Structure 1
Amino acid sequence: MDIFATPEFWVAVSFFLFLALVFYFGVHKKIATALDARADAIARELNEAQSLREEAEKVLADYRRKQGDAAKEADDIVALAGKEAKAMAAETSRAMKEQFERRMKQAEDKIARAETEALRDVRAAAADAAVAAAQSVIAGKLTAETADTLITQGIDTLKSKLN
């Protein structure tokens, strides 16, 4: 009976009684149910986290695609603006060249008119000077006989041209 006096015996007995009570009241089932419920909750959270991750990846891929589209659109806009700027520069250059050519033509025409007018003025002045010189020479050297001869020759020339 020494075995009943040892503390290890009573610890073992109390442990087995405790286990018997636990099984009797079904605590192990409640613990298993609680652990199963916790495992199900964790599994649901993992599934939800996985679906959120997949959704986030889809959104990220969508935003990256949109960013690529926006970058491409921006490049297209820049290229179009460059083309329009070149076209506008070419049009402006062409218009300026046409305007320059028009003004050159106007200037050339004005110079030609001025030359023609100057030539006409010089000829008129030369004719006036020649007439004045001829008058002074004729007045100095013309005698009455020479004048009558010249008038007679002029009248004869006129008669022959009119007939």
Structure 2
Amino acid sequence: MANPETSDLPEVFATDAADAVVEVEPGQAGEHIEPSLLGLEPYQWVSIAMVALLLIAFGMMKVHKTIAGGLDGKIAAIKANLDEAKQLRAEAEALREEYAAKIAGAEKDAEAMLENARREADGIVAKAEEDTAAMIARRERMAQDKIAAAERQAIADLKARAADASTAAAAQLIAANHDAAADKALADEVIANI
């Protein structure tokens, strides 16, 4: 029958090499004996195997050249990416400076256009004022000329009427005061003056 204290432990098969009996006090764990080969522990054998594998891999198969070539390729790719990034950054800086210059130039152009527009507007206003003053002066002269012409026409009409009236009055006076004898004496006097 099985011992109740050891019922939860795994079953161990006995071999010829395992003649040693280890007595364990109740409540204590027994000491574990590690297997060893040629006086080396298992972790030491694993280390020796890794070193041997690496020596074979690096020495005979020239894996180090493949690894170095792969690393060199990665380094070259990273350098190419960095160079491309530097170039792109330089191009972006150049574009930024170009657009900043264009913006500054556009602002200067806008200011110049605004100043030019103000000068042209001032010139147009000044020319309009001059043209208005000249037109007013021309219209005043035209009005004065029309008034002067109307005055001359009125004076000429008045003179003509006065001449007509005086001629008619003189004709009536001559007809009333002169007879045929006075006409004969007047004609003789005119002929004598000639």
For residue 58 of structure 1, report the CA deviation from its aligned partner. Answer: 1.5
Any residues of structure 2 matched to 1:69-80 within 5 Å, and which? 69-80=105-116
For residue 20 of structure 1, report the CA deviation from its aligned partner. Answer: 2.1
Gapped regions of structure 2 (runs ≥ 5): 1-34, 170-176
1:13 aligns with 2:15: no
Q: For the structure 1 residues 6 and 118, does the alpha-carbon distance in structure 2 shift closer, same or farther, using more than 3 Å as the test? A: same
RMSD: 3.8
Instruction: Provide Cα deviations, 1:91-116, integer angstroms capped at 9, x if missing partner.
Output: 22211211111111111222233344
Any residues of structure 2 matched to 1:100-115 within 5 Å, and which? 100-115=136-151
Q: Distance in 1 between matches of 2:111 and 2:51?
A: 81
Q: Distance in 2 between matches of 1:116 and 1:101?
A: 22
For residue 81 of structure 1, report the CA deviation from its aligned partner. Answer: 2.3
1:42 aligns with 2:75: no
Question: Given the two structures, how large is their TM-score scaled by the length of structure 2?
Answer: 0.56
Q: Residue 38 of structure 1 aligns to which amino acid in structure 2?
A: K
1:56 aligns with 2:89: no
Q: Distance in 2 between matches of 1:127 and 1:33?
A: 134
Any residues of structure 2 matched to 1:87-106 within 5 Å, and which? 87-106=123-142
Q: For the structure 1 residues 30 and 147, does the alpha-carbon distance in structure 2 shift closer, same or farther, using more than 3 Å as the test? A: closer
Q: Distance in 2 between matches of 1:17 and 1:91?
A: 104
Moved more, 123-132 or 79-88: 123-132
For residue 82 of structure 1, report the CA deviation from its aligned partner. Answer: 2.1
Instruction: Provide Cα deviations, 1:24-59, integer angstroms capped at 9, x if missing partner.
Output: 222223212211221122112212211221122122
Q: Distance in 2 between matches of 1:36 and 1:108?
A: 105
| Greater Cα radius of gyration, structure 1 or 2 | 2
Moved more, 10-19 or 116-125: 116-125
Q: Distance in 2 between matches of 1:147 and 1:54?
A: 126
Question: Given the two structures, how large is their TM-score scaled by the length of structure 1?
Answer: 0.65
Q: Residue 106 of structure 2 aligns to which amino acid in structure 1?
A: A
**Where has structure 1 moved over 4 Å in runs of 4 or more?**
116-133
Residue 3 of structure 1 is matched in structure 2 by 36
Q: Which has the higher helix share?
A: 1
Residue 57 of structure 2 is matched in structure 1 by 22
Gapped regions of structure 1 (runs ≥ 5): 134-145
Q: Distance in 1 between matches of 2:136 and 2:91?
A: 66
Q: Distance in 2 between matches of 1:12 and 1:62?
A: 63
**Between the two proteins, what is the percent identity of the paired residues?**
36
Q: Residue 3 of structure 1 aligns to which amino acid in structure 2?
A: S
